[in-house]
Amino acid sequence: MTTWIQKPANQIVIDGDPLRLEVTIGANATAAKMLPGRFVIHDADDGDVKEDAAGKALNVLGQLDVAPDKLESDAYAVGDRAILLTGVYIGKVLLLANENVAPGDRLVLAADGKVAKLAVGAAGATGAVIAVALESSNVAEDTEIAALINTAGYHSIAAA
């Protein structure tokens, strides 16, 4: 019997073929928060990205990928070039602590590029829906879960 989804070590993408864009970690980014797997938004200059410190953004560009010469736990520095994953694919997301999610639950951007469960009846008010959980979680610390990610169509989902 096969296991539902295997989360690979040191990779964000589990399955699928996201678009990969080269970006720069922007001047307004917090380097310690520029970790692979975190969702980012536009910074001041075209092609520059940063974290959304408050969460709830509607303008999510995608997730930072792991650089070939680095580990998933290695943060990017301001000014570094990075690969941005965008589009529709299955990947790992960092779920906030104490979020009780089940497969099928919609996920929105939380602070610092993490995700949280969409509050009931709050579509659009809590940010763009950027993923759908593919596994259950309810733990007391931030944890990686598998999700169907869709940063290509977030604007239409958030407005629903």
Task: Please state, in angstroms and as integers, the Cα–Cα distance from residue 137 to each residue in 34, 37, 99, 105, 126, following that order.
Answer: 24, 18, 7, 11, 20
pLDDT for 57 equals 83
CA 62 to chain centre: 6
Comparing C-alpha atoms, which of 80, 141, 150 is closest to residue 109?
150
Tens digit of each residue's pLDDT, the chain (160 residues): 457 888 999 999 999 999 999 999 999 999 999 999 999 999 999 999 999 988 888 889 999 999 999 999 999 999 999 999 999 999 999 999 999 999 999 999 999 999 999 987 655 567 788 999 999 999 999 999 999 999 886 544 443 3
Are 80 and 93 within one domain? no
Are 154 and 93 within one domain? yes
pLDDT for 63 equals 97
d(CA 107, CA 101): 9
Are 56 and 72 within one domain? yes
Q: Look at residue 148 and tell me if it is in a domain.
A: yes
pLDDT for 92 equals 98
pLDDT for 54 equals 85
> Under 8 Å CB-to-CB from 150, ≥6 apart: which residues?
87, 88, 130, 131, 132, 157
pLDDT for 128 equals 80
By residue range, what is the domain housing residue 153? 89-158
